[in-house]
Structure 1
Amino acid sequence: MSASMSGRTPAEPSGTGTPLRIVLADDQTLVRSAFAMLIASAPGMTVVGEAGTGREAVVLARSQRADLVVMDIRMPDLDGIEATRLIAAADDLDQVKILVLTTYDTDEHVVEALRAGASGFLVKDTRPAELLDAIRTVAAGDSLLSPGPTARLIARVLRTPDPGTAAEPAPGVLEVLSAREREVLALVARGHNNTEIAQNLALSPLTAKTHVSRIMGKLSVRDRAQLVITAYESGLVTPRTALQPPA
């Protein structure tokens, strides 16, 4: 899958130049070792811990002050979904980003991981450069959700009866948003960054960013990945309309 939502080169995370602190969570030692070697070869990143279970991932994220956890979904003791949920819910771990790994991009558990607080997902056979780009993208605060795979995945999970029929947004979910905010949310779900949203709606990038932040606050979601899930589940965006260019 693409290494970013719109195919752009991911921005370097802001900060003081301190390397990104990464925890690798996978029950396969060989997988962890391969990822650790790859990350060690990249500037600006360091692996501060390796976990074989979801519970270990939560402990290491806290004790090692991790910036990001590369999280496998299927692990013993505590799976990646529950581990993600625990990290996302912990006040002292609110800076930790989660990048979920899965064997197939049709894995229905991916949606649950995104709901739980993950910022995106990659398949395990992704190319090394894409994994490094994905880490940078998520650490910088962006979602890693390619519109095509995401649309197909959510359609499968939600079992949309007619992907070509636009549903009315669920009032209980989106009634707190203004008409403009719904337009912004739809563009987020289509994979647009703030600059692209600004161009589509004739706004300044700062105004677009402000709209996105307000939407996240109103919907009480952790990041843009959860905004995408909300847009699909509410019916504001359907798998077919997500792949169409904006009007």
Structure 2
Amino acid sequence: MKLSINKLLLTALLACFMAACSDDKPQPAPVPEKPQQTAAPAVPELPKPAVKKPVIKPKPQQQQNVTYTAAQLTARLKEWDKKLDTLSTLFKQNTSYDGVEVSRSQGALFYDKVQNFLRLDTFARTGETEQSAVTNKKEIIILDETGSKVTTLSWKEWQQGQPNQALFDFGNYTALVDKHNASVQSQNTDEAVLVLTPKDGSDYTLYLTLSKRDFFPLVIAIEAELMLTRAELSDTRKNTPLEAYVFGGFLK
């Protein structure tokens, strides 16, 4: 009986010892839980840049070389004669005899159709005005370089002394053309040369180089025997207001 009790006590002690031993063993460290990953915010898609298409410039159209008859050119010239109200233009003029230059001049010309006023400024080689002539095509007033009156002449007398009278015929081209026979000397894409010979048999030939863009004179030339006077116009302004100083009360 005692032996059984002792066995029971021994078994209990062994159980306690085993439990104590098991409690002394190091416990494994707890595994940390992985943090929950939050989904990254969606990045909005940027609009794709528009692809610019290359601009294809149309090829400039070549101006056609239209050929005009003398009748067509004189008709266009007369049209300008009717609608020209004011004019300002620069000119360079030279006179040659048998191919040898004998004189050269340059200046500016102004015309007012309503008042029938014409002004011619002659420039020195430096470009300064050295003399002016203002006329109503009845009388002509000559001014010096300061604009002071020098003398008064007859318009017809003064005009007859000019080597290129057609340079002063703006506003009177209809009558001029009607007094001449017309032909075409030459023409290209940009201009045409109209030739006028007097119907009364006078011995001279008038050449008008007309722009095919607006049929206004670019060059006015007159040839008589061996003498040729040629005036080239530039910076021409048609039907634009003229400055007050141009005719400035010289004529009434």
TM-score (norm 1): 0.23
Q: Which structure has the bigger radius of gyration?
A: 2
Greater strand fraction, Structure 1 or Structure 2: 2
Greater helix fraction, Structure 1 or Structure 2: 1
